[in-house]
Structure 1
Amino acid sequence: MLELGIPQLRQVATALAALPRDVSDAERIGLITTLERLKNAASAAQAMAAVDVDHSQRAAQVEAQVPARRVGEGVAAQLGLARRESPFRGARWLSVARVLRTQMPHTQMPHTLRLMASGALSEHRASILVKETDCLDETDRRHVDHALCGAGGNAASLSTRALEQAARRHALQLDTSAVVERAAKAEADRHVTIRPAPDTMTWVGALLPVKQGVGVYAALKRVADLARAAGDPRSRGQVMADTLFERVTGASAAEPVSITLDLVMTDRAFFATTDEAAHLPGYGPVAASWARALTHQALSHDTLDGAQLWVRRLYITPGTGCLVTMDSRARRAPKRLARFIARRDHDLCRTPWCGAPIAQTDHVTDWADGAPTTVTNTQGLCIRCNLAKQAHGWRARPLPGAGRTHRHTVATTAPTGHTYHSRAPAPPGHVDVSTSPVEQLLYDLIA
């Protein structure tokens, strides 16, 4: 039945792309509403299929005599790839799906799953209900599920924020101690993160206990209000951001910061003959003019006293965009090789759709199988993806020509037989052009 269903679903996807656009606005709104319900119902079907895959793959691992502590490894990664998401999001989604469909038909949250299947509840809103009840036992969890999603429940009509608060309120009424205990444990998860923002800006965030978070914001706001009252021309947000920086670093926001930044850019962009984008590891593409200003700032003794600028050359084979390789016979990638791999892979895990920072330089084909430690046989992976790749049934290999005649490409095959290809990002300024024999000989000599 599934074999018949998949081609039909593909036909539906094709038909959706060809829907007529010459219709009234009322029909368009009706279409949007119908498609939203279809998305929600599809999410429910995905959740049920995910749990089936989880059970089947675990059984296959047990049959293959995988150690008990490793049973289940790699399953979430397969589901993430199937959904074109990171393994982290795949694992989080699988945990939600397990709650919704555990021990069917006696699932812990049958009414939530029913609302999803009917199209009335989205996957995101269902995950909120799962998260807000994860500290309850099964009986209390089913009580919240029935109260909000069963007959007479209003989960489908509440806003997302109101649904979150309603689920939390029910949980507190049923088991206050469990909710309080979860909140106490959450303090151990406090941390600080950084992620890129548009226009060479960054988001720096801190997950703090509520009293600390509110205290930080109130202190910054108080400084901003006083500065504005004294005639400071900066906006309230600017004063708060500058004050945060100054109190954390101890330096003035008006002074330059002494830090080390790697910057990957072409010689053409460096000497301002083109405006090809540069690449700032840990951030991403930046404008050539911004990169030049950064290098000029580093060279200016008036701006950074005693600062030095180091230029590291990375050679690219013309026409292919392949960085020149470096070889090593060591099992562990040497620091220079690991640094090279990080620059080639733009500091992001090579697993398709992952996007996590590189944590480990991994052998594509295992070193234990006799594979060498070379640029061609190494890739940057996050810890989760590296562990998934070591799970039972996974295989990976670099494609022929990877790193020399074609940008480095890895083919990874999951235990289900599905193969995914990961190609190294194009370096800054790369354009696929023909190469003269003399140019190719020169780059071959460099390599």
Structure 2
Amino acid sequence: MPKSQATTDLDQMVEEMRMLVPAGDDADKVAQLAALEKLQASAAAAIARVSTEFLESQRDRQRDLGVPSHRRGRDTADQIALARRISPSQASRDLKFARALRDDLPVTADLLAAGEISERVARAVHRETDHLSADQRSAIDREVARRLPGLSVKEASAAAKRAAYQADPASAVKRAAKAAKDRRVWTKPAPDTMCTVTALLTAAQGIAVWATLRRDAQALIASGAAGDRTLDQVMADLFVERLTGQSVASAVPVEIHLVMTLAMLFGAQPDGAAYGQGVETDPDGAAWLEGYGPIPAAVARAAIAGVPDLLGPTPQELDRGQAWIRRLFVDPATGQLISADKRRRRFDGAVRRFINLRDRVCRMPFCDAPIRDHDHLVPYRDGGETSVDNGAGVCQRFNQIKNLPGWTTEVIHGAAEADAPPGEHPHTIRITTPTGAVYYSTAPPVPGTRPARPKPPTSTVDVQFPSGLRLAS
């Protein structure tokens, strides 16, 4: 569709920023940085204004279409997420922030639009006052905002928090009680095949956990029982031992799932095929650890063998590795996993697991949420098959909003509009939003494969460790 003059002007601004030449003088470079920071803050305020206007116009449109009032605007954040290339959850938080700036924090919004404060400072004010009434928020905005240009993010947060406590001390106590009910534990992948385990606890509990680990780790070091481990390493090992009930951290029984090529597992192309025939696989490429992401093939092989140092297991160690191997076929042109049975209503069993392995995370572009639902892209009621081709792993949010008026999803294979070279058939979904914007989502290839011209298919292995296999730290 043709662009408006306002959009064209923004495109021109982007091009000007792309071509910006740093100043020759260092003092001018600093001035440029200051001006660019103001521009970034002003752009954040503009995004907020456009987002709130878009929300209102979408609600009006859906009202005219007869959408029930409680469902109007539910997909607005998802459309914003696609346009801004961010996750839907982030877009929802941003939209809530934008509405707060418009309705309750107008002075803060003006400072942000003028580039006098950063977006992080404005978000700090919003975060610390979000639980208050509109009148209380507006009063704090008038009180605190005038000092914001001279405050850091931490100082702005503290100032808004103090004002919120004074405005409604009883609410602060209620929030603390509610927050205690939100305690939880979650994991997040870290670089170099590490993993962060995070616990949200009450302040007293969190400090007690950390202080106990530190005290006992210092005692082990003082007694000489820690060997050459550092204080942080001993604390980490104690954390694992006490949570799992194991005598040592390396004795934790695990059941995990890996996706890797036969070349990665055995160090050669399957069936003796030479490179250049069909899908090429790299013995030292990246395997996929479900629930974590890509890991080096050497680490995957070591996990199978259960070797202590996670490095370079010997063939004998691999032979002794207790692993259950399931063959999954790979498209010889694209290196992607392909098909299974079709005539069922529910995605379960092998089909469900297949979709999980193929898609890994929600198929909505820019959404990194874990797969919660297995969705018919062409609805079952419209004749859509329960197949890996017509199925997609999605988050609950996308599964709901894709059924709202104006949304369509369809599977395409090798379409020119998806920029797929002729003859290749990646599993690609075309998503059209109510505004007519079109987005594509293509399933990632199997780790370690390089698409080539079609040849006889190779295999991947899905390695599932039995509970008795022990993975060393």
1:105-138, Cα deviation, whole Å (9 max, x unpaired): xxx1111100110012222321221121122222
Q: Deviations over 1:334-386 (max 9, x none)?
A: 221110011011x2111111111111111112222221111111111111221
Q: Measure the CA separation in 2 of the matches of 1:55 and 1:111.
A: 22
Q: Distance in 2 between matches of 1:138 and 1:21?
A: 44
Aligned residue type for 1:382 = C
Structure-1 residue corresponding to 2:155: 162
Matched, 1:65 2:66: yes
Q: Which residue does 2:466 correspond to in 1?
A: none
Q: Which residue of structure 2 aligns with residue 340 of structure 1? A: 354
RMSD value over aligned CA atoms? 2.3
Q: Does structure 2 retain, via aligned residues, the 8 Å contact 1:321–1:406? A: no
Q: Tell me the equivalent position of 1:291.
A: 300
Match of 2:273 in 1: none
User: Is the 2:285–2:448 Cα contact (8 Å) retained in structure 1?
Assistant: yes
Counterpart of 2:135? 139
2:119 pairs with 1:126: no
2:255 alignment partner in structure 1: 260
Percent of residue pairs bearing the same amino acid type: 39
Please say which of residues 183-192 and 65-74 is displaced more in the overlay.
65-74
The 1-side partners of 2:336 and 2:297 are apart by: 21
Corresponding position of 1:113: 109
Cα distance in structure 2, aligned partners of 1:175 and 1:429:
57
Deviations 1:120-159 (A, max 9, x none): 222232122112112222222112111221xxx2212211
**Aligned pair partner of 1:389 in 380, 398, 402:** 402
Aligned mates of 1:140, 1:68 — CA distance in 2: 28
1:435 deviates by: 3.1
1:39 maps to amino acid: Q
**1:424 corresponds to:** 443
Residues in 2 aligned to 1:60 and 1:253: alpha-carbon distance in whole angstroms: 61
Matched letter for residue 60 of structure 1: R
Secondary structure, aligned partner of 1:374: coil
**CA–CA distance in 2 between the matches of 1:392 and 1:244?**
50
Is contact 2:286-2:297 (8 Å) kept?
A: yes
Kindly indicate whether the alpha-carbon contact (under 8 Å) linking 2:413 and 2:426 is maintained by their aligned counterparts in 1: no
- Cα gap change, 1:401 to 1:5, in 2 (>3 Å): closer
Alignment CA distance shift 1:254-1:220 (3 Å): closer
Q: 1:322 Cα shift?
A: 2.8
1:303 and 1:164, CA in 2 relative to 1: closer, same or farther beyond 3 A?
farther
The structural deviation recorded for 1:230 is 2.1
CA distance in 2: counterparts of 1:213 and 1:72, whole angstroms: 39
Does residue 178 of the first structure (1) align with residue 171 of the second (2)? yes
Tell me, yes or no, if the aligned pair for 1:57 and 1:75 is still in contact at 8 Å. yes
Alignment of 1:187 with 2:196, yes or no, is no
**Amino acid across the alignment from 2:219:** L
CA offset digits 1:166-207 (Å, max 9, x no partner): 110011111111122122111121111101111111000011
Q: Which amino acid aligns with 1:275?
A: D
Counterparts of 2:445 and 2:403 in 1: how far apart (Å)?
27
Separation in 1, partners of 2:331, 2:383: 28
Unaligned runs of 5+ in 2: 269-282, 308-312, 460-473
Structure 1 residue 328 corresponds to structure 2 residue 321: no
Aligned partners of 1:417 and 1:253: how far apart in 2? 58
In structure 2, the residue matched to 1:29 is 30
Confirm or deny: 8 A CA contact 2:336 2:444 kept in the other structure. no
Name the counterpart of 1:78. 79
TM-score with structure 1 length normalisation?
A: 0.90
SS of equivalent to 1:312: strand
Alignment match, 1:316: 330
Q: 2:120 and 2:375 mapped to 1: Cα distance?
A: 34
- Aligned residue for 1:393, secondary structure, equals coil
Q: Aligned partners of 2:248, 2:123: CA distance in 1, in Å? A: 41
Match of 1:271 among 263, 266, 285: 266
Q: How far did residue 406 of structure 1 move?
A: 1.6
Give 1:379's match in structure 2, choosing from 383, 388, 392: 392
Q: Distance in 2 between matches of 1:114 and 1:21?
A: 29
Once the two structures are superposed, the pairs formed by residues 396-415 of structure 1 within 5 Å of their partners are 396-401=409-414, 405-415=424-434
Show the counterpart of 1:101.
102
**Which residue of 1 is the match for residue 209 of structure 2?**
216
Structure 2 residue aligned with 1:352, among 362, 365, 368?
A: 365
Alpha-carbon distance change, 155 to 253 in structure 1, aligned in 2, over 3 angstroms: farther
Query: Aligned pair 1:363/2:363, yes or no?
Result: no
SS state of the match for residue 140, structure 1? Answer: helix
Moved more, 134-143 or 204-213: 134-143
Partner in structure 2 of residue 234 of structure 1: 229
